[in-house]
Amino acid sequence: MSRPTSAIIDLRALRENFILAQKLAPNAKSMPMVKANAYGHGMIEVAHALADCAPAFGVACIEEALALRKANITQPILLLEGPHSADEVGIAEQHGFWLMLENHNQLQAVLSAQLSTAITVWIKLDTGMHRLGFQPEDATYIYQQLSSSPNVAEDIVLATHFACADDLKSNFTDKQLRCFKSAVDNLDGSEHSISLANSAAILGWPSIQDDWQRPGYMLYGASPFSEPHENAEQLQQVMHFQSAIISTRSIKTGESVGYTANWTAQRHSTIATVAVGYGDGYPRHAPNGTPVLINGVKCPLVGRVSMDMITVDITDLNSDIEIGTDVTLWGPGLSVTEVAVHCGTIGYELLTRMPARVPRIYINAK
């Protein structure tokens, strides 16, 4: 009998979320973001599950792209951070990778490369996030440099990234859109494609329609919004992070639990020990009261999270509890967003930090 901690990955739910992204923008091509091990879900398995419907994939770096090629993923793969060194341009040509260019070093690397086949490039414009991207006023010059180069394929894509699309009350997304439109309008009718929408924009900004959208977080069934949203409510959770109770005990009023004794029982209590800890990606800073789900009931975490175990107060459970009873850390009935809110973080972090130690078990492959 192996340790009961695992992540169940529902590939049917993944595909349904991809279909939703396409449905919300039927005239756009949807490029799944599979960087960071597909947000913790397993990059190779996720890519294979979407390979029959995804026209391309997005990754952060060339190492991720090469891993996909090694796994026989044949679609174009966009390197979202572009080349980190000049030699990566030649590697991109060899393997059919697309390059997002965001600075002048990358621009010169592409223009000066010795290539036999033109490569597809995307131009990243900084419209206000101030993380990556060329200045909007340089868009015309950058585009002209690339479009006149024999190293560059004809269909250049211009892109930006939204800083506040998950805040539907913010006017910052509209400000970024105006900035982007002004920059692109100066290209004087040149043939190009546009990519704007991330998950939050796909779900919450229906007026943003472009040629390439980049669904990421939403593919894995999690909402980028802090409040309910009708489109996000259609998402299906992909990961069920689960474990089981491995021990129980009764403690008296005034007794404490766990490292630093930071929780003390205010009554006679029943404590369950669950086989999961920060060594499995469960957040160490989860405070007392963070919910876990046992027999359909949310029960509070008590005591410090340790490397391999957590302790949970099950005093109020009416159902029979025994060693081996299943526990949901997040999944059906308990969203990763709810857990993240208790921990003062976001679901993105909890999903992507899950280590290889946790077995991924894939279901509904077809």
Question: Is 175 tagged catalytic?
Answer: no
* Gap between the Cα atoms of 348 and 87, Å rounded: 32
Which two structure tokens, joined as six digits, stand for 245? Answer: 């109770």
- Lookup result for tokens 């930071």: 262
Alpha carbon 324 to its chain's center = 31
Q: Active site includes 298?
A: no
Cα–Cα dist 18/347, whole Å: 19
- Count how many Cα atoms sit within 13 Å of the Cα of residue 295 in the half-sphere of its side chain: 11
Which of 23, 70, 259, 298 is catalytic? The answer is 259
In Å, the largest CA–CA distance within the chain is: 78
Among 35, 217, 220, 348, the active-site one is: 35
Give the relative orientation of helices 11-24 and 43-50 as an angle to the nearest 10 degrees. Answer: 60
Measured N-to-C along each axis, helices 62-70 and 87-95 cross at an angle, to the nearest 10 degrees, of 30
Among candidate residues 188, 174, 159, 165, the one with its CA nearest the CA of residue 56: 159
Given a contact cutoff of 8 angstroms between Cβ atoms, the answer to whether 272 and 245 are in contact is: yes
Residue 178 contacts by C-beta under 8 Å, 6 or more apart in sequence? none
Residues marked active site are found at 35, 259
